[in-house]
């Protein structure tokens, strides 16, 4: 019997620098590699050159060249993961007619539009998952762009008209309209603000969870001195670790200010930022010599730092459900997060700490008190050791995606 074919559209560039949205699907594919599967999965990404990558017998990666890449807007300060801003990709549209189901992982850009058109023309079931809070990112980048505008123009468009709010609200309406055309919607509802999604769509919602590679992300017994030597780091009593894009939106610059404040309080510490270096120079200027940037650690190295750090600090401003928090918890790292940066993944004072007030003084005081409270840290670590029930990536695929796709193919 011929296997059914599913197209999965990831409207972002596939590269080592890719963020959590792309990594989500890479990890699912890794969990399925060379395993028995009764569907064929074709994943479509963006890249500089068009090509096909045979992942295994049942999984292929297709790289499409964007027609109008958001990379072209880098000069005005857009440094998010790059997507295709063209209305839709006609080449992809005609490819999609050969599939039994289409799954889009975005609702606003080129691939998702092609998916919606293909679904309508050829009556192909369409499902969708939401991995990024695009409207919130849009607000941030509009504000960033207008910082360089004349103060009068900025006052009219941003402060009075609130252009950023108008555009982000319009995007939310488009997302809801897109979801209305889908059979099922995989969304991390727990981590979205109230009224973000239309209640009329609630019957279509499937709670989107994330997996953890438990063979990698587990508590490791490591000698700290060996870590300091291997990565040429100063030997300090306390280690704060951050992993993610080193970017203002992820709270990296904010954390650098917290680090500086902690040093002024006399704490002997090193703060390590690991990830794609976007605003790293700013972080180093603020944080000084005991704030270190470590680029592109592999997953085993990340798990090692999570295991040895005193605190994993993630003060991100916009997240739907950060993967890195789940991985840090699996390594029994004590996580300190903002409500937006993983607060829904943490039970305050049980398996981590949530700091509601976004001020350097508040965070420095909370972190300082926590570092001085070994009893509380040990209690949180103990809770983490007995409450590690996270799904694997294979579980995520079969229980959330495949289980629901089967209803339509």
Closest CA to 320 of 338, 340, 298, 306: 340
Q: Give the mean model confidence (pLDDT) for residues 342-358.
A: 90
State the alpha helices, DSSP H only, in 181-269: 224-230, 252-264
pLDDT value for 386? 83
Residue 77 has pLDDT above 70, yes or no: no
Residue 76 has pLDDT above 80, yes or no: no
Percent of the chain surpassing pLDDT 70: 96
pLDDT value for 118? 98
pLDDT value for 362? 96
Q: Does 264 or 152 have the greater pLDDT score? A: 264
The pLDDT confidence band at residue 194, using thresholds 50, 70 and 90, is low
- List, for residues 282-297, the tens digit of each pLDDT value: 999 999 999 999 988 9
Residue 174 has pLDDT above 90, yes or no: yes
- Lateral strand order in the sheet of 59-64: 51-54, 59-64, 39-46, 4-13, 101-104, 126-129, 184-187, 205-207
pLDDT value for 192? 72
Q: Give the mean model confidence (pLDDT) for residues 148-163.
A: 79
pLDDT value for 191? 67
Say how far apart CA 29 and CA 335 lie, in whole Å.
28
Phi, psi of 155, rounded to the nearest 5 degrees:
-65, -40
Q: Give the mean model confidence (pLDDT) for residues 354-366.
A: 96
> Which residues are bridge partners to 184 per DSSP?
127
Average pLDDT of the chain?
92
The pLDDT confidence band at residue 131, using thresholds 50, 70 and 90, is very high
Q: Token pair of 340, please?
A: 């937006």
Q: Give the mean model confidence (pLDDT) for residues 305-322.
A: 91
The pLDDT confidence band at residue 80, using thresholds 50, 70 and 90, is low
Residue 19 has pLDDT above 90, yes or no: no
Q: Give the mean model confidence (pLDDT) for residues 155-173.
A: 89
Say how far apart CA 137 and CA 144 lie, in whole Å.
11
**Any residues with CB less than 8 A from the CB of 8 and at least 6 apart, and which?**
25, 41, 42, 43, 44, 103, 105
Residue 18 has pLDDT above 90, yes or no: no
At 175, is the secondary structure helix, strand, or coil?
helix
Residue 92 has pLDDT above 90, yes or no: yes
| Domains defined for the chain, CATH in brackets | 4-211+392-405 (3.40.50.2000), 224-386 (3.40.50.2000)
**Any residues with CB less than 8 A from the CB of 70 and at least 6 apart, and which?**
78, 80, 82, 83, 84, 85
Burial of 30 (0-12, 13-18, 19+ CB in 10 A): middle
């Amino acid at each position: 019997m011929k296997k059914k074919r599913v197209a999965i559209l990831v409207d972002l560039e596939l590269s080592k620098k890719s963020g959590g949205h792309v990594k989500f699907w890479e990890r699912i594919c890794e969990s399925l590699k060379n395993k028995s599967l009764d569907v064929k999965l074709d994943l479509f990404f963006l890249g500089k050159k068009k090509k096909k990558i045979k992942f295994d017998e049942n999984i292929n990666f297709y790289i499409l060249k964007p027609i109008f890449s958001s990379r072209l807007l880098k000069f005005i300060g857009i440094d998010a993961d790059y997507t295709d801003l063209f209305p839709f990709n006609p080449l992809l549209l005609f490819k999609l007619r050969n599939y039994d189901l289409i799954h889009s992982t975005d609702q606003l850009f080129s691939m998702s539009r092609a998916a919606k058109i293909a679904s309508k023309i050829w009556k192909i079931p369409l499902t969708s998952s939401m991995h990024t809070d695009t409207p919130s990112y849009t607000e941030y980048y509009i504000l960033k762009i207008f910082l360089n505008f004349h103060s009068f123009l900025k006052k009219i468009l941003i402060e009075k008209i609130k252009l950023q709010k108008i555009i982000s609200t319009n995007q939310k309406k488009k997302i809801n309209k897109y979801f209305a055309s889908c059979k099922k919607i995989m969304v991390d509802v727990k981590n979205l603000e109230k009224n973000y999604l239309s209640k009329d769509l609630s019957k279509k919602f499937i709670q989107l969870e994330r997996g953890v590679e438990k063979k990698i992300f587990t508590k490791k017994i490591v000698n700290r001195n060996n870590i300091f030597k291997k990565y040429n780091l100063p030997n300090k009593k306390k280690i704060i670790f951050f992993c993610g894009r080193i970017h203002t939106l992820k709270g990296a610059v904010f954390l650098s200010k917290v680090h500086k404040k902690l040093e002024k309080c006399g704490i002997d510490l090193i703060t390590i930022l690991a990830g794609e270096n976007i605003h790293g120079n700013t972080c180093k200027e603020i944080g000084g010599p005991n704030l270190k940037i470590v680029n592109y650690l592999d997953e085993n190295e990340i798990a090692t730092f999570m295991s040895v750090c005193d605190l994993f600090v993630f003060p991100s401003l916009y997240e739907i459900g950060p993967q890195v928090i789940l991985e840090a918890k699996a390594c029994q790292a004590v996580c300190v997060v903002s409500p937006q940066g993983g607060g829904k993944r943490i039970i305050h004072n049980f398996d981590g700490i949530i700091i509601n007030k976004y001020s350097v003084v508040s965070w420095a005081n909370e972190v300082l008190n926590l570092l001085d409270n070994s009893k509380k840290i040990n209690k949180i670590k103990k809770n983490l050791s007995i409450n590690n029930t996270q799904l694997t990536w294979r579980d995520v695929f079969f229980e959330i995606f495949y289980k629901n796709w089967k209803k339509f193919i």
